[in-house]
Structure 1
């Protein structure tokens, strides 16, 4: 596994490893209005993040990779990374969130593009996908800007706070990287 951290691609933020000490700040970001309703996180307390940190700290080939997004002062303002990593198949699902105070500046697009290209090259993956709530128009625009192709709708794909919701799936394959804008 590659331990490097990619560049953020945006001058207002940096990436660093996400560590257990970030749990409180990360939870606060995930619970902010505007973030919570666009994600499928099933969190009722900061303790619900513990299994994710356990997965990040495993000595085996990880099924998750997650990085903290920090502002110039070093404060956590979001995260980005991969889950559902299938090493034998060279695939993973990207996920990210950003505190609303940082929306509308091109940060999410820069992060998504930089981290996706880095992962394809660093890990030799063939495909990265994203599953986005069908109501999350902003995230869908970020993915399209980064060269992800809309592949369809997954009806009642995941439970979101007790309700089966539809998700749109977007995919990026190595051949698409040269066609991404930005």
Structure 2
């Protein structure tokens, strides 16, 4: 999946050590709930991720590869055929922030997810002070749908949690617009 220098690769157990390093970076520690960060816990999340095309999959995880190096991860979880929705998550290594790679990788993930015929809506959350993550959502056409005030504690500070949504017709209009 992806252009020549950027691709998404399905998560495999051997990715776990990279994922541990990624989640220990300052950017991750600032914006991601990393309390369940045991190697065993992350390995379980990799092995529980569905295989693309598997009818009963509840979610997927891919790692982002740029010029042959792993630089981040994207995921979809709580995939619901009944409601036609999935929750998107993404994290990029600090060294690669600000170059548009996150937006491209997440865009590739959105494109892939909307190939699922039942999917109508993709949603994600960002912390209220995570401006970079909000920029990714905005650039891809997500709409800020609301903020749960002081919903999370991150590094000892209370912070708001923003909810963003993207509907299939909005995505298709952007692609063909």
The interval holding the TM-score normalised by the smaller chain is 0.7 to 0.9
Question: Using CA pairs below 8 Å that are at least 6 residues apart, which structure has the higher relative contact order?
Answer: 1
After superposition, residues 117-128 of structure 1 pair within 5 angstroms as 117-128=111-122
Gap runs ≥5 in structure 1:
1-5
The alignment yields a C-alpha RMSD, in angstroms, of 2.5
Match of 2:166 in 1: 172
The answer to whether 1:72 aligns with 2:59 is no
Matched, 1:17 2:10: yes
- Count of matched residue pairs: 174
User: Could you state the TM-score of these two structures normalised by the residue count of structure 2?
Assistant: 0.85
d(CA) in 2 for partners of 1:111, 1:180 = 16
- Contact kept, 8 Å, 1:81 with 1:94, in 2: the verdict is yes
Residue 70 of structure 1 deviates from its aligned partner by 1.4
Q: Whole-Å Cα distance in 2 between the matches of residues 138 and 95 of structure 1?
A: 14
Once residues 41 and 151 of structure 1 are traced to their aligned partners in structure 2, the CA distance between those partners, rounded to angstroms, is 25
1:32-58 CA-to-partner distances (Å, cap 9, x unmatched) read 111221112323432231331232158
- Measured at CA, do residues 131 and 181 of structure 1 come closer, stay the same or move farther in structure 2, by a change above 3 Å? farther
User: CA offsets, 1:134-182, max 9 Å, x none?
Assistant: 1111000110000000101023445556776421000000121123799
Deviation by residue 1:2-43 (Cα, 9 ceiling, x = unmatched) = xxxx32x5x532111111110011110111111221112323
| CA–CA distance in structure 2, aligned partners of residues 42 and 123 of structure 1 | 35
Which one of the candidate residues 124, 139, 146 is aligned to 1:130? 124
Alignment correspondent of 1:83: 77
Residue 155 in structure 1 maps to residue 149 in structure 2: yes
Contact 1:42–1:160 (Cα < 8 Å) also in 2? no
Instruction: Provide the residue aligned with 1:3 in structure 2.
Output: none
Aligned residues of 2:103 and 2:140 also touching (Cα < 8 A): yes
Q: Deviations over 1:95-121 (max 9, x none)?
A: 011101111110111111221122112
Q: TM-score, normalised by structure 1?
A: 0.83
Runs of 5+ unmatched residues, structure 2: none
Shift of residue 89, structure 1, vs aligned partner: 1.1
